[in-house]
Amino acid sequence: MNMRKDITFRSIALFLICSGLAGSAVAEMGRTALVLGGGGARGAAHIGVLEVLERERIPVDCVVGTSMGALVAGSYAAGLSPKKMRKKLAEADWTDIFLDVADFSQLSYRKKKVSQRYLPGTELGVTHKGFQLQSGVVAGEKIKLFFNQLVDANLGERNIEQLSIPLAIVATDIGTGERVVFREGSLTQAMRASMSVPGLMAPVEYKGRKLVDGGLVDNVPIVLGRELCNADRVIAVNVGSPLREPENIGSVLSVTAQMIGTLTKQNVERSLTSLTGQDIYIYPELGTIKASEFARYDEAADAGRKAAEQQVMLLRTLSVDKNTYTAWKNKNKYAPKTEIVIDEVRIAPTNRVHQNYVARQIRQVPGTLLDRPELEQDLIRTYGDGFYQNVDYRVIRENDENVLEIIAREKEVSLDYLVFGFSIDNEYRQESNFNFRAAYRNTWINSYGGEFFASADVGGKPRVELDFYQPLDTRHHFFIEPNYLRKREDISIFVDDERIADYQLDTSYTEMVVGANLGGYGQSRLGWRDYHVKGEADLSSVVLPNVDERFGGFVYELNLDRRNRLYFPSHGWRSDISYFDSHHEGYSKLSADLGGAYKISDYVLSVRTAYTTSLKGELPIYDAVMLGGFLRMSGYASNQILGDEALYGHIRTEKIIGRMPLGLNGDLRLGFGLEAAKLETNYTLSTGDDWLDSGVIYLGGETPFGPLYLGYGFTSKGDYNMYLQLGAL
């Protein structure tokens, strides 16, 4: 036993002596500051430089970083090796990280409904002072969570002042234009602030200031590096992008990018004048790698390694022996916590949104191990509710307990806002339709989350809707919802293939329903609906009676949607079931519409089946089944097929042939589909109860304005139709 104690004592003593010798050896060489500049994705070159420093056993006394350089500098100071950095970047889904949206299947049904008709990113806040625009295209929600994971802040806050290697991170106060230097506080918050490209990513609020990318004021902070640890020399790495050629500047975005690039270039040139003969300057040749091309991180890292190799003779003058370097590494090594038990889950105070509403999404159970992947999913889903600037978390120690605190910071843009959308529907056999729509959402009127919604569509299909949604509990399990809707639609009436009349259908209803929200699955509603229907044809006939009817009835709806995307889903399913029973009119209407998608390699298989019938009586023409149009029997004109008791189905396969052109987000797909329908009672075709067939070929993809389709529909009889559609119809 005494021998073991003696061995342990000697080991500790030896370690302390070696550490002291290491510190002495490093001190004799003078102090070295590592300065890593900004440059977006090009900043992955810093990893290659660090690989060479590690191979050559070159210790540093402090690290300074800006923008992407702040990410690498912060990770390095936090104990992350270059090898592990490469691995973390390889595991990251860079397309997803910059999309601040939850999977569509995880959104609340109310959020899904708004997404179906209004464009994301068009929110315009409404306050007593006027209108407010969003502060950035990307809020940075997933980016911040990625930073937490990168430096192990997900298991407890990592503060800059607690790191073994002194670190400084540069950001810019967008209000004053001043440089802001982080030397203490949250590491991930500093990294996030330094990478906030103005206009693209929302600023970070810090001590009453709004902070953006530090590259605007000090992209390669050499002087700061020298000051931070009283350095005798600086290793400076510049990964900035060159300015665009004049012929490549035309759009507003390119002019803005050139302006930011010019400011950055000027401050870099000033900074480089402070280099001395003792310093080492590394400027990787990054060629065509753009600041936005994070998927090319490996190329950038290799370029950084190559550039450092070209300076290797100078770098080797800073090398230390193996034992000294190992001792330095061990001194700065961080041992991450592998698991942590959460004793309490706490929601930080909010302003208008009820804390229980935030808590409903968090599945972490006190007394269990922190499940980081599950928690991050919960935070993204919470963010997807649409009320927050960002949603973050931290693990803090209080009274010897681990407290998981969820921080949901409400939007700077008002929670009362306008949203917009539009649609263009052109087809060969019908008149073109253009609709512009706008809606006003007044959210969180009361502590339970009451919401007033008003919308209007103008164009070929005018529509007005007023809605008041009142949850009955703070977690929004149940609600009541009075609603008024009025819409007008001009329907072309065909007999077989001959267009004989136009029918103007003016429908309005008032309803009162009670309902239940079913989490990310959907919603169930039950209530009473009063209709007023006016139908008038430009040619009177037995088939097309003019109507002016008022009637009411019970209504039930069950809407479930688990698709991963609203448009062009690659997996998931949806189900819509509704029932209306009107005693006054003597008919009832049951509808069921089911669909799903499944991806196999570069192919997406989609199926859909829909059935509508009247359980009693016969569907009147103003409430009849309407088929025809794109992906609704595509070989026929829109609403060419009218009838009762209809069964419809299609199967489609889509080949992902690339990405949308012009930098648009989403897949570009080539699709082919087969469709069939059968009506027991057909009001407009003389084919009786025969099966109808149709096929469709189309090219489609998602744009910032909604889905875009170019299609050709056909039937076995030789009928055909052509389509161009843009936006949510």
Outline where 59-127 has alpha helix (H). 68-77, 82-91, 94-97, 109-117
Question: Burial level of 422, CB count in 10 A (0-12/13-18/19+)?
Answer: buried
Q: Which of 71, 66, 74 is nearest to 37 (CA)?
A: 66
Q: Phi first, then psi: what are they for 683, rounded to 5°? A: -80, -20
Q: Phi first, then psi: what are they for 400, rounded to 5°? A: 65, 25
Neighbouring residues of 422: CB distance < 8 A, sequence distance ≥ 6: 119, 434, 435, 436, 437, 705, 727
Q: Which of 539, 505, 540, 533 is nearest to 626 (CA)?
A: 505
- Can you say how many angstroms the Cα of residue 583 is from the centroid of all Cα atoms in its chain? 46
Question: How far is Cα 185 from Cα 504, in angstroms, rounded to an integer?
Answer: 65
User: How many residues can be counted in the chain?
Assistant: 729
Cα 164 to Cα 60, 222, 344, 660: the distances in Å are: 11, 21, 30, 46
One of 152, 173, 213, 416 is an active-site residue; which one? 213
In the three-class reduction of DSSP (H, G, I as helix; E, B as strand; rest coil), residue 362 is classed as coil
SS3 of 229-269: CCCCEEEEECCCCCCCCHHHCCCHHHHHHHHHHHHHHHHHH
Residue 81 CB neighbours (<10 A): 16
Cα 711 to Cα 423, 656, 721, 726: the distances in Å are: 16, 16, 8, 12
Neighbouring residues of 479: CB distance < 8 A, sequence distance ≥ 6: 469, 470, 471, 472, 514, 515, 516, 517
Cα 199 to Cα 196, 249, 336, 486, 606: the distances in Å are: 9, 18, 35, 39, 38
Buried b (16+ CB within 10 A) or exposed e, 87-97: ebbeebebeeb
Strands 233-237 and 280-282 turn out to be parallel
Tell me, yes or no, if 108 is annotated catalytic: no
The C-alpha torsion from 107 through 111 and 115 to 121, rounded to 10°, is: -90
One of 61, 67, 218, 423 is an active-site residue; which one? 67
Tell me, yes or no, if 213 is annotated catalytic: yes
Written as one letter, the residue type at 233 is: R
Element housing 512 (H / E): strand 498-517
The pair of three-digit structure tokens given for residue 689, joined into one six-digit string: 């109860």
Q: Return the active site residues.
A: 67, 213
